[in-house]
Structure formats: C-alpha cells, structure tokens
Amino acid sequence: MQILECDNVTKVFRSGLRGRVRALDHVGLTVQQGEIFGLLGPNGAGKTTLVKILLGLVHPTEGRALVFGKDARDWRARRQVGYLPENPNLPPYLTGEQVMRLFGGLSNMAPGESRRSCVELLEKVNLTDGGERKVRGYSKGMLQRIGLAQALVQDPDMIFLDEPTDGVDPLGRHEIREILAGLRDAGKTIFVNSHLLSEIEMLCDRVAIMDKGRILSEGSLDELTAESDNYAITCRHTETFDATLLDGCTLNCTTNNGLLEVSVKSIEQLNKAIDILRREQVMIEQITPARQSLESYFVNLITDIRGEQKSA
C-alpha cells in the first residue's frame, strides 16, 4: 500500500537578495507501507523543504504531495503522523513526563491513555529515569530520545524523523535502530531525513538521494550498492612473493605477516592477477566480489552529476 507520494513537487521561494530560489525541482517519489525510507543529500539539497511540504507546513509552488491519499495541506492527512524535528524545541521548564503528557493532550488523547502511553514510551526510549528531570538538564542524546518518544505518543502509522540519531552515543544509536526496526515490523512507515550515511545504510529499506532540489537516484540499498566489477583476492604464505609483479593490474595491493590482499576493478584484471599468482605458485585463499558502500555510491553520484553540470 502506498502511504506517501510526491508528483512533480516544485517549490520556489522569493528572496530579496537572490530573487527567485528554486528549492525543489519537480520531485517525484513514493513510500510504501511498512518500510523505512531514507532521504539523503548534502546541505542545501532541499531535504528539509520537502519534509515541510509533506507535513503541510509549506505549500508547493507546483505539483502535489499526498499522505494517506490526501493532499498534504489537508489537516486530516496528519492525523496519523508523528514528527521528530532535527532540534526538538521542547519547553525547558517541563519534566520528561510532563512533555509527554503535553503532546498527548495536543493529540487529543484521554488523560488515562496519555499517562499509559507516557510510561510505555519513556521505557521504550530508555528514559524512565529521566522522566522526572526537567528538559533543560537533558543532554543532546536525551533530547533526541524524548523527541522520538513524543513523535510516537499517539501511535502514528507514519513517522517523520529528521536526524533521529544526531548527538546520540553508539549504544543509543543501536537502541534507536532497534526501536525503528520494531515499528517497521509492526507495519509502521518511517521517513528518515539524515546526512549520516552509515546510519541510513544500517536502517533503511529504500533510499532517495537529492541534490540542488532534484532526486538523482532512488531504490533499495541492494540496488544502489549492487556488486560492481571490483574483486578482492586474499592469499596466504606470500613471504617470498614479489608484489611488484602485480603492478598495472590491481587497484591496491597490501601484504602483512604473509597475508596478501589484492583489489582489482575488472574481470580482465582479476584473471590477469590470478594468472600471475598461480604462475608464482601463490596459494589463493579467497576471491570476493566487492560491494560498494552507500557512502561511496553517494559521493560518486554527487561528484559525477556536478561535474557534468559544470562542463555543460
């Protein structure tokens, strides 16, 4: 089931100094129920503007954005939506429990229901001990946790998260990933806006990459980081092997305590390296197709696109 759809969404802002600024340029994407979708892009790519349009906070200049089949500008589209902004601006004089009850009330929850939800969610985000502390004394990681808890207060079906693990320690990031994976397994749909590529790679089912207001690429992580023509060769007992014999047919070659690791970038180079190694009677232990990381794909895509635009 399709939960979210953008169809040629364009947003042009008027600026006194710069005239008309096109923040989004005919953006199109879809998000399905029960998936974690990641939106990636460098600063100024248009990610925040797109999220604000999907939340009905900003209206598009052209195109349409639908959430649960309704126009994102319609308040009814946000009935089952939770939102964690990048920097949660919570009343500093309230305790964690009071913050949760405040958002429960804003979500029109009954007092008893709000209290039960408050207890459950503070425990879920590992903030039970911080429930009685005032928010002004919270660390950045604790603010992210309470921000995530308030986004879940009404048990929404669609959750927008802007940098959900920013400022959280490694253990906390792992716990948040576990929470989000559990929500996905329960059928919830999660839209994550982040610049932390390693987190996105561990968390998301599908990803869209933006730059300068446009979607450059969209697909599953398996599709975007598909195995390339690069291969890694591992050999042992190579103390007497002259690694310079592989010059010209490898990307990289390292030796350490009799272990030789060779990287090649094509099948032709792979076969040439194997021929040399077997001729020298080197014992080949393993040949592995190399899958590029999301970071590598992201950097190469942005660099190539900008290079093409600059030369055009």
Measured distance CA(260)–CA(235) in Å, rounded: 5
Concatenating the DSSP letter of every residue in 127-196 gives: -GGGTTSBGGG--HHHHHHHHHHHHTTT--SEEEEESTTTT--HHHHHHHHHHHHHHHHTT-EEEEE-S-
- Residue 105, pLDDT > 70, answer yes
Measured distance CA(98)–CA(82) in Å, rounded: 18
CB-CB neighbours of 143 under 10 Å: 18
- Residue 204, pLDDT > 90, answer yes
pLDDT band at 170 (very low <50, low <70, confident <90, very high): confident
CA angle at 303 for the pair 289 and 265, rounded to the nearest 5°: 25
- Residue 100, pLDDT > 80, answer yes
Of 140, 134, 142, residue with least CA distance to 98: 134
User: Reduced to 3 DSSP states, what percent helix, strand and coil does the chain have, rounded to the nearest 5?
Assistant: 40, 30, 30
> pLDDT at position 16, please?
66
User: What's at 128, amino acid-wise?
Assistant: T
User: What's at 174, amino acid-wise?
Assistant: H
CB-CB neighbours of 249 under 10 Å: 20
Tokens of 51: 């999220």
- % the chain with pLDDT above 70: 96
Element (H, E) at 60: none
> pLDDT at position 228, please?
63
Measured distance CA(124)–CA(137) in Å, rounded: 20
* SS3 state of residue 201: helix
Whole-angstrom Cα Rg for the chain: 25
- % the chain with pLDDT above 90: 44
Residue 77 DSSP class: G
Of 84, 33, 40, 42, residue with least CA distance to 193: 40
> pLDDT at position 34, please?
94
The model's pLDDT over 84-93, given as tens digits with 9 standing for 90+, comes to 988 888 999 9
Of 228, 206, 141, 219, residue with least CA distance to 176: 141
> pLDDT at position 52, please?
94
- CATH topology for 227-291 is Alpha-Beta Plaits (3.30.70)
CA angle at 259 for the pair 253 and 261, rounded to the nearest 5°: 30
Measured distance CA(265)–CA(311) in Å, rounded: 26
Measured distance CA(46)–CA(11) in Å, rounded: 9
- CATH topology for 2-224 is Rossmann fold (3.40.50)
CB-CB neighbours of 35 under 10 Å: 17
Identical fold, 2-224 and 227-291: no
Chain-wide mean pLDDT for the chain?
A: 88
Mean of pLDDT values over 170-194: 90
Domain boundaries, the chain: 2-224, 227-291
